[in-house]
Amino acid sequence: MQRKKMLIVGLAIALLIGVVSAATISYFGQVKMTATVKQAVLLDGKDVTEMPTIEETETVAGGEFFLRSHWLQSQTSVPVDLKFETYIPGDSAGITVSYLKSTGYKTTVTTSGTYPINVTVEDIGDWIQWTFNFFACNTTPVTGGGHFAGAVIISFDGVKPAFQIYDNDGTCAAFPWGTWLYSPYDLTGGGWHGWHTSEAAWNTPVANIWWIQAEGARDFSDNPGGKFIVKIHKTMLDATFYWAVYANQYGFYNPNNGDSCYPSNFQWGSETFVQATILEEITSPFTLYPGEVLPFYIKYKFAVNIQPGTYTIYSTVKPAS
């Protein structure tokens, strides 16, 4: 009788286990893979793990400004709202930081004078380029033995010249004719109305200056297309600056020597200029669209009365929300 009870209890336990087991997992499987997630927006081609901030250190006496170029690239398929943030350790009074982008500046002008030419000024990315087209207005040179001369004159305030880039047409005997030279303006240093282009010490071949490029031979025989190209790196200009051009053609026409310039009232010694705004402020927040590459510039401006010294400024690009 006792054995029979034990059997019944045993059966009941077995049934209970069976019922409970009916709720256990019957099938199981697993596959493993890892996906690498890249950052949606790159700053200068780097993500946050490689370069979290832009660090700029400048030693200033006061009154200087610096333009530095950077770029953002969207890798994602959705628009991304971003904003710039600036951090200046210590006293930030007298320091202005602004974020700028290209205006796509481009203009073509015709110079005034005996033999006008066309000059196109345009933003070509990191550079502003002046293209002199000597035969745009005069297409029938009477002789193949002619020569070209030209200069780009820059001002930062629209009144006082800062420097000129010119093709040496015998102005400075220290350099071969046709050498592209850079010469700064300095009214306090004497010279001719502040220009020192005849003095060797005041001229530097542009081949030795990283932020200037100039090409175009002086002689028609080496430059039958009649083109000069002068480029200045944007970071050495300003968001708004002023320019003028001077050109000369010799030996092509009758009379055989003709100057031209732009603006029309430009004269050496009493220079006038054209305003060019090549950069405009980026209003935060701003949207970076899928696949967009946005070159941008940070302008660091130091007040004239700032304490002279070395300043470090940090900039970051962050999601707007």
Partner 1 sequence: MNRQFVLLALGLILTIPVFQSPIFSEQFRPLQGLHVVKSLPLNMVAGSTYGWEVSFKNPKSEEGLMNVTLEVTEKKTVVGFGEFHVEGTLESYDNPPREHHTLPLTFMETSGGTFQSQALISERFNIIKLEISSVPNLMPGEYTFTLTITIQYKSGQQTQFKETS
- Quote the least distance from Cβ 78 to partner 1, whole Å: 5
Q: Which of 2, 57, 78, 308 binds partner 1 (CB under 8 A)?
A: 78
Which residues have C-beta within 8 Å of that of residue 191, sequence separation ≥ 6? 199, 202
- Only one residue has tokens 């950069």, namely 279
* CB-nearer residue toward partner 1: 5 or 270: 5
State yes or no: residue 270 binds partner 1 (CB under 8 A).
no
Query: Dmax over Cα atoms in the chain, in whole Å?
Result: 141
Say how far apart CA 97 and CA 86 lie, in whole Å: 7
Only segment of 65-73, 74-82, 199-207, 241-249 that touches partner 1 (CB under 8 A): 74-82
Please give the residues from 94 up to 123 whose contact with partner 1 meets the rule CB under 8 A.
none
Residue 20: DSSP 8-state:
H
CB 100 within 8 A of CB 279: yes
* CB-nearer residue toward partner 1: 19 or 304: 19
- Quote the least distance from Cβ 2 to partner 1, whole Å: 14
Say how far apart CA 228 and CA 305 lie, in whole Å: 41
Q: List, as one string, the DSSP characters of 171-204.
A: S-TTS-TT-EEEEEB-GGG-TBTTB-TTSGGG-E
- Quote the least distance from Cβ 199 to partner 1, whole Å: 56
Residue closest to 212 by CA, chosen among 166, 274, 262, 275: 166
β-pairing verdict for 41-43 and 65-74: antiparallel
* CB-nearer residue toward partner 1: 33 or 201: 33
- Quote the least distance from Cβ 321 to partner 1, whole Å: 9
Q: Which of 53, 69, 76, 284 binds partner 1 (CB under 8 A)?
A: 76
- Quote the least distance from Cβ 79 to partner 1, whole Å: 9
CB 174 within 8 A of CB 155: no
**What is the CA angle 285-287-291, rounded to 5?**
150
* CB-nearer residue toward partner 1: 87 or 289: 289
- Quote the least distance from Cβ 286 to partner 1, whole Å: 14
* CB-nearer residue toward partner 1: 21 or 139: 21
Edge to edge, the sheet with strand 309-319 lists: 54-60, 309-319, 80-87, 286-288
Say how far apart CA 172 and CA 182 lie, in whole Å: 11
* CB-nearer residue toward partner 1: 17 or 124: 17
Say how far apart CA 207 and CA 198 lie, in whole Å: 19
Please give the residues from 14 up to 73 whose contact with partner 1 meets the rule CB under 8 A.
14-15, 17-18, 20-41, 47-49
Q: How many residues bind partner 1 (CB under 8 A)?
A: 39
- Quote the least distance from Cβ 84 to partner 1, whole Å: 15
- Quote the least distance from Cβ 48 to partner 1, whole Å: 7
Residues that bind partner 1 (CB under 8 A): 7, 10-11, 14-15, 17-18, 20-41, 47-49, 75-78, 80, 318-319
